[in-house]
Amino acid sequence: MVDEFKHYSGDIDRALHGGVRGHSDEPMYSGALSLLRRRYSRDLDDDEVDVVVTGAPFDLATSNRPGARFGPAGIRAASSNLAWEEKRWPWDFAVFDHLGVIDYGDLYFDYGEPETFVREIQAHASKVLAAGKTMLTLGGDHFLALPLIREHAKKFGPLCLLQFDAHTDTASYGTQVDHGTMFFHAVEEGIVDPDRSVQVGIRTAYERENHRFTVLDAAWVNEHGAQAALKEILRLLGDQPTYLSFDIDALDPAYAPGTGTPVCGGLSTDCALKILRGLGAVNLVGMDLAEVAPPYDHAEITSLAAATLALEFLCVLASKRVAK
């Protein structure tokens, strides 16, 4: 068994037998479809592992079109288009030379009882964080952010939230398991500090009274540009522990048609990537990527956008190590 290798040897499927670090040039159209060809593993005691990728195929909290349960599989499949590139443009280093990443696979829960998802994802997050790893979680609908933030807050204290979304998800009505109420509950539970949090790409109505989150709505970002948005984000977040929650519907449907509640007038993929690339100074403690619904996608546009955003997050984490 080869633990570390740089190039495809012809008889190794990297997702099954590859090392935690390093790069391979396996064909994009074959092989096991882990995220970015990272090794499937549940070994949280491996000191080489820095980031744990987990699929959360849950869409029982969605209010419109279901289908985000297929998101983790769609993102993994599309990510094979990105795994061949040793150095991700425009970064000048090989991300997996500096960052050890495993794909943990998907969480399992009783699909008829949403509360079991809450229990399972919190137990999983607790285990991963206790092992000192960073989480990258692939949804699934956006409700998954709430149980994940609960566990991150237990470790890091009340968090700053950097949320990319078409909706604020701060509705004070609805059920406890609802992808439109999570951040209302997060504030009520004291696990997110709204005065130091930023919502980017918003373009739907929300309860403005007592809304303490800073909102950089899509119209403002599209008019002023990624650098202006990034400047405001960095000012607000400072060096506080920050959880990044990215609802793919932050992107305009032209760039992400495969989602449950698409809203016109959103961000471009280029704009979102430029903002993410500038987050090197932010104390990012975890990320979720939600609401990719492949049944409504075309030519993997949405899944590819999501996979690219996930890779960009990993590049940002790796850049901190390169800079040391």
3-state percent helix, strand, coil for the chain, nearest multiple of 5: 40, 15, 45
Residue 22 lies in a domain: no
pTM (two decimals): 0.93
pLDDT surpasses 70 at 21: yes
Residue 10 lies in a domain: no
* Token pair belonging to 210: 């007592």
Worst-scoring range by mean pLDDT, 11-15, 111-115, 148-152, 300-304?
11-15
Structure confidence by residue, pLDDT tens digits, 271-320:
999 999 999 999 999 999 999 999 999 999 999 999 999 999 999 999 99
pLDDT number for residue 1: 39
pLDDT number for residue 131: 98
Residue 9 lies in a domain: no
Mean pLDDT across the stretch 28-40?
86
Smallest CA-to-CA distance from 142 within 287, 324, 315 is with 287
Mean pLDDT across the stretch 44-69?
94
CATH label of the domain that carries residue 182: 3.40.800.10
Mean pLDDT across the stretch 192-204?
97
Residue 13 lies in a domain: no
| Cα–Cα separations (whole angstroms), residue 105 to 38, 125, 188, 317 | 11, 13, 32, 21
Question: Can you tell me the distance from the alpha carbon of 310 to that of 324, in angstroms, rounded to the nearest whole number?
Answer: 23
- Measured in Å, how far apart are the chain's first and last C-alpha atoms? 32
Give the domain extent around 259: 27-323
The count of domains in the chain is 1
* Token pair belonging to 137: 């979680």
The pLDDT confidence band at residue 2, using thresholds 50, 70 and 90, is: very low
